Amino acid sequence: MNEKIMNCFEIEEHLLDYVDNELAGSMQQVVAEHLQACLSCRKEVESYRKTAMLLQLRAVPEPPERYWDESWEKIRAGFKARVLPLAEKPLGVPPRSLRLQHVNWRPLVGVAAMFCIIVASALLWSWQSRSREIAAVAPQRIYMNPTPVVTVGRDDNFSDDMYRQMELVDAGRAAFGSIDPISKSVMLVRLEADRK
């Protein structure tokens, strides 16, 4: 009798590890044998298992699919506004797995087309502007400026309109941000010409 109480006390130390199946082989066996004979320890093990299961009751509801899209837009905008400019298009060499078999050319053609549009608008923009203004504006990267549209944090009324607005801002930024290298050379040539 006395021995059994001592035993339960000792066994209790190991019950949680037993539940997790983390006892060394021999000890796992000792506890298992004890549990077969001892109802109170068995109940204790059961109560831990049930507690763990009760926690599952707090299952997290799955948000609607559009939530993930909207969140991404907010994160992207927040990141661009606060941290660093992201590349507007996939950069550099595509990963090996993309290069040969899985290439879907359509988006690449799209990217090329976008690039042409961007270059064209960059040239157009730089020719239309006066050189002094270019000198003042061009070297600054526009996307480093804080964007007023963006709020990071709570925004329960994230409407489709804001979506569109952000896309417009982004499209503008794509054209404006990529102006740098080209306009720089144009600008230099013009400044050179102005000096003469």
Q: Which of 6, 24, 32, 52 binds other proteins (CB under 8 A)?
A: 52
Q: Distance between CA 65 and CA 189 in Å, rounded?
A: 51
Would you tell me how many other CB atoms lie within 10 Å of the CB of residue 98?
12
Which residue ranges make up the site for Zn ion (CB under 5 A)?
Answer: 8, 38, 41
8 binds, among Zn ion, other proteins, none (CB under 5 to 8 A by kind): Zn ion
What is the per-residue binding string for other proteins in 160-189, x denoting contact by CB under 8 A? ----x--xx-xx--x---------------
Q: Is 111 in the site for other proteins (CB under 8 A)?
A: yes
CA distance 86 to 178: 12
| DSSP 3-state percent helix, strand, coil across the chain (nearest 5) | 70, 0, 30
Rounded-to-integer distance, Cα 123 and Cα 112, Å: 17
Q: Which residues bind other proteins (CB under 8 A)?
A: 16, 20, 46-48, 50-63, 68, 71-72, 74-76, 78-79, 82-92, 95, 97-98, 102, 104, 106-107, 110-111, 114, 117, 152-154, 156, 164, 167-168, 170-171, 174
